[in-house]
Each structure stands twice: as C-alpha cells, then as structure tokens.
Structure 1
Amino acid sequence: MQKPEPMKDQVPWATIGLVLLWYGTNIGVLLLNKYLLSNYGFKYPVFLTMCHMTACSLLSYAAIAFMKVVPMQSIKSKRQFLKISALSAVFCFSVVLGNVSLRFLPVSFNQAIGATTPFFTAVFAYLMSNKREAWLTYATLVPVVAGVIIASRSEPSFHLFGFIMCVSATAARAFKSVLQGILLSSEGEKLNSMNLLMYMAPIAVVILLPATLLMEENVIGNTIALARNDIKIVWYLLFNSSLAYFVNLTNFLVTKRTSALTLQVLGNAKGAVAVVVSILIFKNPVSIIGMIGYLFTVMGVVLYSEAKKRYG
C-alpha cells in the first residue's frame, strides 16, 4: 500500500507579488517626489500634489467604472458629500505638507518622523471621541516619540521648517484617519478606500487648483518652459502621478488579501527599506545615533501594534 504523499505548502505568490508591488510604488513615489522637489529643482509641491490628485481622479474612476476592481458605491446625501469634502481638504493638507517637507529633509529623516503617526492617532482619538487605550498601549508610544527626538538632535541635514512641515503632515494624516472613522461611521455612509479616493481626489483638485495659482506664481508657464528645455519633466510628472494612484490601489489590494494589522507590520518594514534605499540613492549623511533613534521609533510602533491587537 502506497503512502499518501505529504501535501506541499502552496506559496502565496500572488500576495507576495502584491506586497512587492506595494513596496515598489510606495518607495518609488517617495523617492521620485524627493528627486523632483529637491535634486531636480522642480520647486512646486502644491502643483505636484494636484498632478497626483488628478491622476487619482481619472485612474480610480477607470478602475471602478470600467475594470470593476470594486463595486461602484454612490454618495447618498448632501451631508455625506460634505463629510467627504472635509476629509478631502485634510487629505490635501497632509499630502502638500509632506511634499513641502521633502524639499528640505532627506527621505530617511522624513520616514522617521512619519513613523510617529500612531502617536498622533492616539492623541486625536482621545481628543475627538474620548477613546481611551490601555495604559500599556500608551506606554509603547514613549519610544515612538523618543526615537524621533533622538534622531532629530543628531540629524546632519536637519532643517527646522522642513521638520515642522513633516510633523504637521504626519499629524494631518492621523487626524484624517480619526476623522474618517467619526464622519463615515454609520453603515449607510461607509465607503471602501477605493470609492472614497474616487470621490475625494476630484474635490482635492478643485481645492488645489486655486491654491497652486495663488501660492506658486506662474507654475504652469514655468513648467511648460521647463518641458521645452527638458521633455523628461513631462514623463517624470506623468509617471510620478500614476505611481501615486497605484500606491492607493496596491494598499487596498494588500489589505484585502491579508489584513489591516499585517499591512501595519509590512508598513513598518517598508519604512526601513525606504530609509536604506534613499541613503544609497541620495547618499545623504546619516549618524549612528540618528539610526538608533529611528530604530527606537520603529520598535515602538511594532510594540504599539501588538498592544492594540491584545487590548483593542
């Protein structure tokens, strides 16, 4: 009698591929933003954000309406539309500030500050909805903040304005996530992230267009003049804007295949990968103490995720 062959573990290649694609788009858009705004000299972060939002508007509609990536969800009331508009304004604010910070800070330090998002999320959740966490969960936020303080004090490329912009962007991202939970909490108003992006992105374009024209003088004329001298800027902007959409798409698909908690863990690792890649590409100086500070922050975020999983 033949023994049954042991079943071979199937490798989830599709999930691994999606995670790698998510890493690639996330790190790619971050590095390309840095290159354009700092190294290339394209000093228009608001216009760049508007390009991102325009691509997200067009591509998200195409993905939902034609490719059926997710079922189309409709806005059911004026009140829901106003809530989405408020979220869009905060979202715009966070992305613009993040792009502004990349003009002045290296990607490695930008990622270290961005890792403090759980701290701001816990603060806003308490202030806005009186949501309290277990004391151990709050304790894990100490190394998150301490790590950034250590990294800031020893960052060779520290820039005060860039630092303020990056902290503000991180706080705005956390504020948006808490606000989203409050505003779209009822079952009738909940939208999946892809539909929410489809409605938020065009509202963001409407907000960003006058802001671009007011804050970045003659940006359209200067970009056209730049394109005449170097056509590569057109391809950079098109590729960069498309990547910005695929960051959101791959984020959604990875969450769907795994879980929000797995995404959080993968996100921590992604931040570390982005730091290493950016240092290799841009060769920005880093200090040992600064890297220790960043490791402190990442360790705190990992502990925070574990505490949230255990204590809710």
Structure 2
Amino acid sequence: MGRGGTLSDSVVRKAFLAYAYVLIWIALSFTVIVYNKYILDKKMYNWPYPISLTMIHMAFCSSLAFLLVRVLRLVEPVTMSRELYISSVVPIGALYALSLWLSNSAYIYLSVSFIQMLKALMPVAVYSIGILFKKDPFKSNTMANMLSISLGVAIAAYGEARFDSWGVFLQLGAVAFEATRLVMIQILLASKGISLNPITSLYYVAPCCFVFLFLPWIFVEYPVLKESSSFHFDFVIFGTNSLCAFALNLAVFLLVGKTSALTMNVAGVVKDWLLIAFSWSVIKDTVTPINLFGYFLAFLGVAYYNHSKLQALKAAEAQKKAALADEESGRLLEEREGDGLGRKNESQD
C-alpha cells in the first residue's frame, strides 16, 4: 500500500509539474507576443521599429547570458572551436536574426489573431525544408497532411478582414527562416553531439544575432530614429519586455527538457486559440467566420500531424525496448549455454 501510494504521489507530482511547465510557457509566450504587438502597433505604443526592438532583446539576453556564464559561472559554457562557431553558430544566428526581424515587423501590419493563423504553417515549412536538406523522407500521406494545413491557412487568409500583402509576406518569410533554423540546428549542431540549453544558446547565438541585425539597422531604422527628437527610451517598457523575452527562452528549455518538443507543439495550439480569443475580445481585432473555419481546418491538420509524430515516437520506443529485450535474452541464453558446457566438462573430468 505504501509503495502504491508513493508511486501514485510520484505520478501526480510529475503530472502537476508538466502542467506547470506548460502553463508557464503559454503565459510567457502569450505575454511576449501581446507586449511586442503593443510596442510596435501604431495604434498603441506606436514605436514601429522592429529591428531596434529585436536588437534590444538580443543585447539584454547577451548581457544576462554573459553574466550567468562568465561572471557568476552558474552555467558551464560548451567547448567550441572558432571554426565550429563560424560554420555552425553563425548561420543559425543569421537565420534567427531574420526570423525575429520579419516576425516582429509583421505585427505592424497584421492582427495578432491572423499572425497566429499563419504560424500554423510552421510544420509545413519544417517538413518541406527537412525534405530539401534530406533530413526527412518524403511520404505521400504526410505531404497530403501538409497540403490540408496549407489549404486551411489559405481559407483563413481569404477571410481576413485586414489582409495586408506585405504583412503576410513578412510573416511567411519569418516562418520560412525559423523552420530553416530548426532544421539547421539538427544538421549543424545536434548531428555533431552539441547540445545548447537556452542560456548557452543565448550566450553564443544572441551576440551573433545582434551583429546581423545591426547591419540593416544602420541603413533602415537608424536614420529615422536619428531624425526623431520626440522619442525617449523607456527603461520600464523595454526592460520588462526584454526580461519577458529572456524568461520565455528559459520556459522553452523547461518545457522541452522536462516534457518533450511534442508537448510544446500541442501547448502551442492551445496558446494560439487563446491569442485569437484575446485578439478578438480585448484588442477588438476583426475575426470572421471564414477566418475561424480556415484555421479550424489547419488546426485539425496540425493535430493529426502531432498525433502521427506521437505514434511514431511510441513505435520507436517500443522497437527500442524490444531490441533491448532480445539482446538481454540472447545474453542470458549464452550464459546458460556456457554454464551447461562448464558442467559437462566437469562431469567428464
């Protein structure tokens, strides 16, 4: 009874922690998205400088990561040569810079709800780029699923009341660069046995990302900011916004590290629905029935995709357990045959 009670308490505790990680990640992701929209939207805080905002985030995250790694030494840095940094981290930093720049730019032109609908294309982009780089095999049923997600997003776009072609282009570009970054992490880092947690990831990637953002900032936003005499840097707004962005990186590590990437994908769908509801009810963005119908179709496609991945993981785990069981059985059989042969030799003596 005691053992059963202990097991039950352990299961309940693990489930409680898993839900806590999910809720923390949803809350922080929700906050960062709405906060960025508030800062960048011309009808709200009215500071439409997405490169500058992203650079502030990267400078804050770089400084805090450096403090934790080099000064306080709370996190051990990864052993990395200059050649590996240039060949692996620099391309990932460039892709991350482009993804953040374009995604933040989209908030100026599109509603929060429509942006979340467009983000449903992420599995499509990741799978397509995975095939392009020969990371994933082509499967007709998976591609059909990707087409169903794309169809749902297309219907949602058709029903969008505030459709903006440039905003859609920016958000689709952000999805493409982010998907490429995720695939490149697997190819350039994971395949070489290098694993970065959010602190070490920011320690290595954030400064590189800052440099790549600085180059377009000089030509695109700096001249405009230089001519604007009315702007005064608000440390409270930008400080809390950057702190939320840093905390979100930690929440991603907790969620994926303590549960799985699949859990984050499922939680992301819940977050998207919450953001759509918030965008409609609080920000007063227009959400049409065609919007919802199209996104519901995309949602079904994403849900099926996550279900398929879960079944594949379970099958791989079962296959791994069966292989270990066969190996153990073979080892025991060899030991018994060895013992039998030893006894036979002893009887002959």
Q: TM-score, normalised by structure 2?
A: 0.80
Structure 1 residue 273 corresponds to structure 2 residue 274? yes
Task: Give the 3 Å change call, closer, same or farther, for CA 268–223 of structure 1 in structure 2.
Answer: farther
Task: Deviation per CA, 1:174-196: give whole Å up to 9, x if none.
Answer: 01111111111434444344322
2:40–2:108 contact (8 Å) kept in structure 1: yes
Task: Give the 3 Å change call, closer, same or farther, for CA 98–309 of structure 1 in structure 2.
Answer: same
Give 3-state SS (helix, strand or coil) of 1:110's partner.
helix
Task: Give the 3 Å change call, closer, same or farther, for CA 155–295 of structure 1 in structure 2.
Answer: same
Partner of 2:297: 296
After the TM superposition, which residues 130-169 of structure 1 pair with which residues of structure 2 at under 5 Å, given as runs? 131-169=136-174
2:22–2:255 contact (8 Å) kept in structure 1: yes
Deviation at 1:259, TM superposition (A): 1.3
Aligned match for 2:101, one of 87, 96, 99: 96
Higher relative contact order (CA 8 A, sep 6+): 1
After the TM superposition, which residues 221-260 of structure 1 pair with which residues of structure 2 at under 5 Å, given as runs? 221=226, 225-227=230-232, 233-260=234-261
Q: CA separation in 1, counterparts of 2:98 and 2:81? A: 26
Partner of 2:52: 47
Partner of 2:341: none
Give 3-state SS (helix, strand or coil) of 1:41's partner.
coil
Task: Give the 3 Å change call, closer, same or farther, for CA 14–63 of structure 1 in structure 2.
Answer: farther
Give 3-state SS (helix, strand or coil) of 2:174's partner.
helix
RMSD: 2.3
Equivalent AA in structure 2 for residue 306 of structure 1: H
Q: TM-score, normalised by structure 1?
A: 0.89
Give 3-state SS (helix, strand or coil) of 2:230's partner.
helix
Give 3-state SS (helix, strand or coil) of 1:140's partner.
helix
1:213–1:219 contact (8 Å) kept in structure 2: no
Equivalent AA in structure 1 for residue 20 of structure 2: G
Choose 145-154 or 130-139, whichever is displaced more: 130-139
Q: CA separation in 2, counterparts of 1:134 and 1:143? A: 14
Deviation at 1:304, TM superposition (A): 0.9
Report how many residues are paired.
Answer: 306
After the TM superposition, which residues 118-197 of structure 1 pair with which residues of structure 2 at under 5 Å, given as runs? 118-129=123-134, 131-197=136-202
Partner of 1:60: 65
Partner of 1:17: 20
Deviation at 1:125, TM superposition (A): 0.7
Task: Give the 3 Å change call, closer, same or farther, for CA 122–282 of structure 1 in structure 2.
Answer: same
Q: CA separation in 1, counterparts of 2:207 and 2:188? A: 19
Q: CA separation in 2, counterparts of 1:85 and 1:104? A: 30
Q: CA separation in 1, counterparts of 2:129 and 2:202? A: 22
Aligned match for 2:36, one of 15, 33, 36: 33
Q: CA separation in 1, counterparts of 2:266 and 2:299? A: 10
Task: Deviation per CA, 1:269-304: give whole Å up to 9, x if none.
Answer: 111112212222211111011011111112111111
Deviation at 1:241, TM superposition (A): 1.3
Gaps of 5+ in 1: none
Equivalent AA in structure 2 for residue 152 of structure 1: A
Structure 1 residue 84 corresponds to structure 2 residue 93? no
Bigger share in helix: 2
Give 3-state SS (helix, strand or coil) of 2:77's partner.
coil
Partner of 1:306: 307
Give 3-state SS (helix, strand or coil) of 2:191's partner.
coil
Q: CA separation in 1, counterparts of 2:103 and 2:218? A: 19
Deviation at 1:309, TM superposition (A): 3.0
Q: CA separation in 2, counterparts of 1:18 and 1:296? A: 28
Equivalent AA in structure 2 for residue 161 of structure 1: W
Q: CA separation in 2, counterparts of 1:194 and 1:5? A: 38
Equivalent AA in structure 2 for residue 204 of structure 1: C
2:22–2:264 contact (8 Å) kept in structure 1: no
| Identity, % of aligned positions | 28
Q: Which has the larger radius of gyration?
A: 2
